[in-house]
Chains A and B, each alone.
Chain A
């Protein structure tokens, strides 16, 4: 079983839609959960970070973590064309390395 599984996509939605991106993980040692956004020809940029189960909101973005199910989600409300990018989930346990999902490419159509 892979350490991280991310919905492969790609995903195409109309502007204004609610987007749901999901990842599952198998390593119980993972403590920190992150979502990165990567625009074409750029490095990933940290979007959201959390270490506890529950929801964390930041503007139009909500990160949801369910440690009991080893499942994390990123919700984007009122999606915009500028949200078109690849989204990567990432995990880190203690001082261990970051483990990334393979990423899902999102396109928001105007």
Chain B
């Protein structure tokens, strides 16, 4: 079974631009969560989607948004990029029978210049 895939793997943007990241969960998984990982703050939860609905949200500004499609694929958007948005963005999916465990993708490394 294929794992969680994320595209693109690497991205360089400049301040003020916006970016869209994509995540395809493991087949059959309907829950997708997004995390931001930085050396200083570690892994921080952004939001979780289940059946196209946002189920949980972390403490990030409104510039960070997401959505989920009917096939469970998810996108995350960051508008008006700031230097501090440089991070590894990770997507994770979990199955209905095991929501307490999450399986992560390789991440998208975003550099904001």
Contacts and interface: CB of A to CB of B under 8 A. Distances in A.
Tell me, yes or no, whether A binds B.
yes
A101 B42 CA distance: 7
Interface residues of A, number: 23
Contacts of B102: 46, 98
A42 interface: yes
Among B43, B90, B101, residue most surrounded by chain A Cβ atoms (within 10 Å): B43
Chain B interface helix/strand/loop/mixed: strand
B99 A95 contact: yes
Enumerate the 8 nearest inter-chain pairs by beta-carbon distance, A residue then B residue, closest first.
A43-B104, A102-B42, A32-B100, A100-B43, A97-B45, A97-B56, A44-B104, A43-B106
Q: How large is the interface on B (under 10, 10 to 19, 20 to 34, 35 or more residues)?
A: 20 to 34
A46 B99 CA distance: 13
23 contacts: A32-B101, A34-B100, A41-B106, A43-B4, A43-B104, A43-B105, A45-B103, A45-B104, A46-B102, A49-B101, A51-B100, A95-B55, A95-B56, A97-B33, A97-B45, A97-B56, A97-B58, A98-B33, A98-B92, A100-B43, A101-B42, A102-B41, A103-B42
